[in-house]
Structure 1
Amino acid sequence: MQKFGVDDLRGVIAVTPTPALPGASALTARDTVDLGETDRMIRALVADGVDGLITNGTLGEMATLTLAEWQAFTACVADAVADTAPDLPLFVGATAPNTRDTVDRIRFLRDLGVRGVILGRPMWSELGADTLLAFYRGVAGLFPDMAIVLYDNPEAFKGPIPTAAYAALAEVPQIIGAKYIAITPKFAADMAAVGGRLRLLPLESDWLAAHTLHPETALGCWSSSALCGPEPVLALRDAIRRGDVGTARHLTRRIEWTYEPFLARTNFPEFSKYNITLEKLRFDEAGYVTAGPARPPYHVVPGPYAEGARENGRRWRTLVGEVRGQDS
């Protein structure tokens, strides 16, 4: 029986890194996952009140982890969630270049008791819409008890999910949501196409705009910035829920202020070349989690980009202090 549905994708879905031990950037490094920090990170997010978790997307280094590392990390996350909040929506990445490896990874998740997966597409070659639909339908058919969140990253997967494909995917009961990149004119078309049958999750800084346009269905967001400290995003969630538009606008403006020096805001295609390292740098600078070094080959990043990420982390830390001060 499927554990999670569309209504479970509400509020703040935090997107986590895979914490790395010192030396993880070496080409010969193995067993690089910091399992102690992983356990602490998950327990902190649960205690602070996030509404769900996504792991092992891009910044979670699905592209760099060995199978053994991914299994160790996933088991650690699953154990921490089971111990602290067994009904918390948890979606673990299982994307791989080989669809059969994806199937094996989802079997591993199911055997652990995990009932949610975030799933991108094989990306060696771009998938046509018919191939994309066949891939997702085939995986869903093999795992009727697994809830699937689509990972719609046009840079990683050589293009967005077409609107017509969204309409078709919304008919698959196991597909309950999508991690969505940006609010563009296509977002409105995709919202109309899915008709509330799956939840499109915008970035937290876009959430108020999405909710203003679609108050009945834009009920959640994804946030990697929650790993710089979740308080600002949780405060935004609470303001949206109680209809406090003034506070929600203020928080959104302050969140946008933190992003001003961050490459993702000025050149997303360029950011996508370095995003793993840039995300981990800002997490470490903010101090909520020790993300550690990026794994090869993504550990190389230009100095100005790195400093922009650190400044984003510093600004987010300032914003956390502001929110705490308002709550006290």
Structure 2
Amino acid sequence: MVQKFGVDDVRGVIAVAPTPALPGAAELTARDTVDLDESDRMIRALVADGVDGIITNGTLGEMATLTLDEWQAFTACVADAVSDTSSDLPLFVGATTPNTRETIDRIRFLRDLGVRGVILGRPMWSALGADALLAFYRDVANLFPDMAIVLYDNPEAFKGPIPSAVYAELAKVPQIIGAKYIAITPKFTADVAAVGGRLRLLPLESDWLAAHTLHPETSLGCWSSSALCGPQPVLALRDAIRSGDVEAARHLTHRIEWTYEPFLARTNFGEFSKYNISLEKLRFDEAGYVTAGPVRPPYHVVPEAYAEGARENGRRWRRLVGEVRDSDS
């Protein structure tokens, strides 16, 4: 089967979605915790509102806490919702596990389900050297020539970033079409040069204007978990960047940064990474676009000061959604 998605399909707003949980999901003995009704509603809402792609089952999608049965049920639900509403929408489902053979089994499940995109980190029990990292992705790509791969480049989760020299080699693999990128630093420019436009480096939405200013020919999309607080501000930012309305794009970026002021991710990313699942789901619930529900153990424990910062972020984002809607009316 021919690969469905290429680098040109990775553009615009790629929404990063949680795995909604039923009440009681934080209990150690809980099973079948996925709220499938809310999962279906969430995906249909994102499609109806106009996002350009969806990522699921990364960190905040609780890939580390779902049982295999839960992951399969959620994935099937998401795949059905996308197929029913926008069958050509780029969908990248996480399949990362500590065990390469289990990862392979999950990618087979995705392919058999009709999903043609995967977001893929690497095994992280022990850090991988550059040679092993490159071999892992090459081997997976060779095994699945019809699957499009978005790299999950999270240096906290995977014990270090993908080196620029490795990016240069990964960009030669046709199945690898993008990467979920953490921050705009001098390394970002080095990595943009390394990939040469052959895969899309996706910054966070608040960094997108800066990335696009630096690299207008290649920085054509972003990832956004905040889109799950309501995608309208990020979609408006997309439209402003595409139309060349720099003033509007700057204003929206400034307002998005304002929502992040109380959020731990902006002040201490290392500390945030210890509690990110809880903090993301708290702000989603506060904003009200999706009912993310409780966090599965052991990531359900979070200091109250951090939690309140996340809730305030959700409240601010809800206000920003209102501003964008008022400006469109």
**Does residue 103 of structure 2 align to residue 102 of structure 1?**
yes
Query: What residue in structure 2 maps to residue 147 of structure 1?
Result: 148
Query: What residue in structure 1 maps to residue 68 of structure 2?
Result: 67
What SS does the aligned partner of 2:128 have? coil
Structure 2 stretches lacking a partner, 5+ long: none
What code does the residue aligned with 2:234 have? V
What code does the residue aligned with 2:236 have? A
Matches within 5 A, 1:1-328: 1-328=2-329
CA distance in 1, matches of 2:215, 2:130: 26
After superposition, give the CA deviation of every residue in 1:246-280 in whole Å (9 maximum; x if it has no partner).
00000000000000000000000000000000000
What SS does the aligned partner of 1:323 have? helix
CA distance in 2, matches of 1:17, 1:184: 27
Q: What is the TM-score with the length of structure 2 in the denominator? A: 1.00
CA distance in 2, matches of 1:327, 1:30: 44
What SS does the aligned partner of 2:89 have? coil
RMSD between aligned residues? 0.2
What SS does the aligned partner of 1:209 have? helix
CA distance in 1, matches of 2:89, 2:98: 29
What code does the residue aligned with 1:145 have? D
- Deviation, structure 1 residue 204: 0.1
CA distance in 2, matches of 1:86, 1:111: 16
CA distance in 1, matches of 2:289, 2:296: 20
After superposition, give the CA deviation of every residue in 1:8-63 in whole Å (9 maximum; x if it has no partner).
00100000000000000000000000000000000000000000000000000000
After superposition, give the CA deviation of every residue in 1:90-125 in whole Å (9 maximum; x if it has no partner).
000000000000000000000000000000010000
What code does the residue aligned with 1:95 have? T
- Deviation, structure 1 residue 129: 0.2
- Deviation, structure 1 residue 6: 0.2
What SS does the aligned partner of 1:281 have? helix
What code does the residue aligned with 1:289 have? V
- Deviation, structure 1 residue 192: 0.1
After superposition, give the CA deviation of every residue in 1:172-220 in whole Å (9 maximum; x if it has no partner).
0000000000000000000000000000000000000000000000000
CA distance in 1, matches of 2:328, 2:296: 38
What SS does the aligned partner of 1:178 have? strand
CA distance in 2, matches of 1:294, 1:247: 36
- Deviation, structure 1 residue 77: 0.1
What SS does the aligned partner of 2:5 have? coil
What SS does the aligned partner of 1:221 have? strand
What SS does the aligned partner of 2:66 have? coil
CA distance in 2, matches of 1:184, 1:20: 35
What SS does the aligned partner of 2:138 have? helix
CA distance in 1, matches of 2:149, 2:13: 17
What SS does the aligned partner of 1:46 have? helix
Q: What is the TM-score with the length of structure 1 in the denominator? A: 1.00
CA distance in 2, matches of 1:10, 1:128: 30
What code does the residue aligned with 2:300 have? H
What code does the residue aligned with 1:316 have? W
What SS does the aligned partner of 2:151 have? strand
In the alignment of these two chains, the number of paired residues is: 328
